Amino acid sequence: MTPHTNSDLLTALIFLDDATIENGCLQVIPGSHKYGLQSHNIDDFFRGKIQEVDENDAVYIEAKAGDVLFLHCLTMHASAVNTSAVPRRTFLPAYRSADSFPIYFGPHAAHNEPGIKLLRGQISRKARVDQGIHYLPIAKTEFGSIYEIQEGSNENKAIDAMKKTGYAV
């Protein structure tokens, strides 16, 4: 999720498989959406993760296939790498208010915008802006997947994938 002009955004995590502690289920920090937008930068570049988090505050969210979890965009969350043989797939439709617009429309975010559909209300010609600081996700190099940038894996691999497909994968 890229930063937007306001934080009226949420994602519905629709679980296609059971998510358990054993296969690295989601962890959240309850109430963290009230902290405001946190920096996802490391060494002054976007890395898609927050550094200063007390992981002891995290709660595991185990779910059955078919369950739906609504996650506010500012809720601190993470999941462990799935090292089990059991898949942990989710479908992630995201929703935002009509007056919430992406602040940064770079290559790693641009592939989402053409598919945006207004579900209710009217198209807004004005952006409503939350007060405070808005961190821009400016990465050191191009990347495709948020997981690649978080772990600092082969960034050239992401660039190659984007060149082949035309969008971030």
pLDDT computed for residue 169 by the predictor: 35
Per the document, the length of the chain is: 169
Sequence-distant (≥ 6) Cβ neighbours of residue 158 within 8 angstroms:
142, 143, 144, 145, 148, 149, 168, 169
pTM for this one? 0.76
Q: Please give the Cα distance from 123 to 116 (Å, whole number).
A: 11
pLDDT computed for residue 1 by the predictor: 54
Got the DSSP string for 28-61?
E-TTGGGG-----EETTEE-SS-SS--GGG-EEE
Q: Per-residue confidence of the chain (169 residues) as pLDDT tens digits?
A: 568 899 999 999 999 999 999 999 999 999 999 988 888 888 888 777 888 888 899 999 999 999 999 999 999 999 988 999 999 999 999 999 999 988 875 666 666 777 788 999 999 989 999 888 777 777 777 776 777 777 765 445 544 554 444 433 3
pLDDT computed for residue 108 by the predictor: 62
